[in-house]
């Protein structure tokens, strides 16, 4: 019996036969990379939850949330959230400050949710919040303009200040 003139690869692939190893390695690398990226996408940062005005209650004080103007929340990776009617309630809640979730506040005037790291806080003299903390979230320039002392407070500044007051 004589040895086969063509290898089995050549018979299957025909005249378009290429070096399988040279093609297979990048293909496997691409598949593994896509699998890792897809696995990482499953652990996304939690986003803010919707608030059912008139029904949802504040996790700190238990009052019904009737307006979003000073609302806040902690969104946890497991899909749960702690809702607050006043961002001061969240800033003084040990459970919220313990970590484990993403902190969000409603921009003043109900303009949408923002992470606490992305906004600043001011207490305009002519406005009151549901629980009397009287702080609202604004872009930095607006906070500086509205605050009586022209100081745009960051989240940690606000937490410290409210801890001293209460």
What value does the mean pLDDT of the chain take?
82
Residue 12 burial (C-beta neighbours within 10 Å; 0-12, 13-18, 19+): exposed
Contact 74, 65 (CB under 8 A): no
Alpha carbon distance 123, 114 (integer Å):
18
Pick 65 or 38 by higher pLDDT: 65
Q: How far is CA 98 from CA 59, 74, 119, in A?
A: 14, 11, 20
- Whether the predicted model's global pTM rises above the 0.75 cut: no
The DSSP bridge partners found for residue 81 are 75
Q: What is the mean pLDDT of residues 69-92?
A: 96
Q: Does the pLDDT of residue 9 top 80, yes or no?
A: no
Residue 77 pLDDT class (50, 70, 90 cuts):
very high
Going from the C-alpha of 61 to that of each of 71, 95, 130, the distances in angstroms are 13, 13, 11
| Token pair belonging to 42 | 């499953």
pLDDT at 86 over 60: yes
pLDDT digits (tens, 9 = 90+) for 110-128: 789 999 999 999 989 889 9
With 90 as the cut, is the pLDDT of residue 143 above it? no
Whether residue 4 has pLDDT greater than 70: no
Tokens of 149: 């002392």
């Amino acid at each position: 019996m004589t040895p086969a003139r063509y290898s089995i690869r050549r018979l299957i692939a025909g005249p378009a036969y290429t070096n399988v190893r040279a093609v297979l390695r990048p293909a496997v690398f691409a598949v593994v990379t896509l699998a890792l990226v897809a696995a990482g996408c499953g652990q996304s940062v939690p986003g803010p939850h919707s608030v059912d005005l008139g029904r949802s209650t504040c996790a700190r004080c238990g009052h019904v949330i009737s307006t979003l103007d000073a609302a806040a929340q902690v969104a946890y990776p497991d899909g749960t959230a702690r809702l607050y009617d006043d961002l001061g309630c969240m800033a003084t809640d040990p459970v919220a400050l313990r970590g484990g979730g993403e902190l969000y506040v409603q921009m003043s005037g109900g303009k949408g949710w923002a992470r606490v790291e992305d906004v600043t806080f001011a207490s305009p003299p002519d406005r009151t919040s549901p629980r009397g903390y009287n702080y609202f979230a604004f872009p930095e320039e607006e906070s500086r303009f509205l605050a009586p002392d022209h100081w745009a407070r960051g989240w940690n500044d606000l937490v410290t200040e409210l801890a001293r007051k209460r």
